[in-house]
Amino acid sequence: MKVFLSCDHAGIELKNEICEYVASKEGFEAVNLGIELGEKIDYPVAAENLCKKVLEENALGILICGTGIGMSMSANKVNGIRAAAVSEPYSAKLTRTHNDANVLCMGARVVGPELAKMIVDNFLEAEFEGGRHKTRVDLMTDIENRNK
Ligand code: RB5
């Protein structure tokens, strides 16, 4: 499974550490969309770029800013994206198994690297359960379609 990673200037170091971590996990290919130290980008720009790739390649995404919140708000503006700002492993797992999230957002000022790796493990290793959860995810898509 391909995993795109991106960040704003608040998340560069954590993004790079998580990128290496994802690359080391069997079955996952990490694609670093930037940015790098010395660069700056506004989180909505980084989020939209990554979300387009996630949708084009039916992949997963990881976005890191200061809190994870700006990234998740921006990502969720893109039709077809279900992004969750997460700061602990339980929600990371459930947002895949129940919400079919395709983008994980984390805050570099909220979680340290080791906790972030546990969150990433739970997110990437979980699978959508479908069934009653599909009904609810479809209802979310209906909201999207009614409010285009
Ligand atoms: C940038 O300073 C900061 O506002 C941003 O990274 C993020 O936390 C926004 O949600």
148 pLDDT more than 90: no
The Cα 93–Cα 121 span in angstroms is 8
Q: Would you state the pLDDT for residue 78?
A: 98
Q: What is the pLDDT of residue 136?
A: 98
Q: Which residues contact 67 (CB under 8 A, 6 or more apart)?
A: 85, 107, 109, 110
Most informative mutation of 39, 42, 71 for ligand 1 (most atoms within 8 A of CB) = 71
Domains of the chain: 2-146 (3.40.1400.10)
Question: Does the pTM exceed 0.95?
Answer: yes
The minimum-distance atom of ligand 1 relative to the CA of 65 is 6
Contacts of 49 (CB under 8 A, 6+ apart): 6, 33
Per-residue pLDDT of 67-105, as tens digits, reads 999 999 999 999 999 999 999 999 999 999 999 999 999
**Mutation pick for ligand 1 pocket among 43, 45, 109 (CB with most ligand atoms within 8 Å):** 43
> What is the percent of the chain where pLDDT is above 70?
100
